[in-house]
Amino acid sequence: MRRVLLLHGPNLNLLGQREADVYGRQTLRDIDTAVQQLARREGVQVTIKQSNREGQLVDWIQDARGRYDAIVINPAGYTHTSVALRDAIAAVSIPTIEVHLSNIYGREEFRQHSYIAGVAVCQISGFGPLS
Ligand code: DQA
């Protein structure tokens, strides 16, 4: 069975309460439940983690070596700031998909640059919880 690590970055624990006009009313728990249901249907094993701390996310990416076939990450605010997350993804050579709930290219200029995109196999942005 393929193993996927899903990482949620900072402030995503507040989904449902946080800027609902941008991120919607679904909580992180709602999204994780839907992901687990989809994974069961697809025969994929998904491990889901959330952290507000950059170093913790780096540690989880490093620890994924030999344990996961793919990483899916919403780096949240670290998308636009973190060379460390980019380097961790590049270092582990695990195919990584970058996801965003909102369309980062339709928002403020500072959100339109991603440090992660260059090391991700693809980016999915703007489909809300469906991303
Ligand atoms: C986000 C977009 C980021 O710019 C923002 O900092 C987030 C969430 C998204 O999912 O749309 O926290 O990654």
The pLDDT assigned to 122 comes to 98
- pLDDT score for 65: 98
**Residue from 106, 108, 101, 107 nearest 125 by CA:** 101
CA 60 to centroid of ligand 1, rounded, Å: 19
Report the DSSP beta bridge partners of residue 46: 4
Question: What is the pLDDT at residue 10?
Answer: 98
| Dist. CA 113 → ligand 1 center (Å) | 12
**DSSP conformation class of 97:** E
What is the DSSP pairing of strand 70-74 with strand 44-50? unpaired
pLDDT tens-digit readout, 62-80: 999 999 999 999 999 999 9
Q: What is the Å distance from ligand 1's center to 1 Cα?
A: 30
State the pLDDT confidence band at 14, using cuts at 50, 70 and 90: very high
Q: What is the mean pLDDT of the chain?
A: 97
Q: Whose CA is nearest to atom 3 of ligand 1?
A: 76
Query: Crossing angle for the helix pair 54-63 and 83-92, nearest 10 degrees?
Result: 0
What atom in ligand 1 is closest to the CA of residue 100? 10
31-61 pLDDT, tens digit per residue, is: 999 999 999 999 999 999 999 999 999 999 9
Q: Which of 8, 23, 68, 115 is catalytic?
A: 23
Q: What is the pLDDT of residue 1?
A: 92
Rounded mean pLDDT, 80-96 = 98
The three-class DSSP label of residue 47 is strand
Helix or strand holding residue 36 (H, E): helix 28-42
- pTM for the whole thing? 0.97
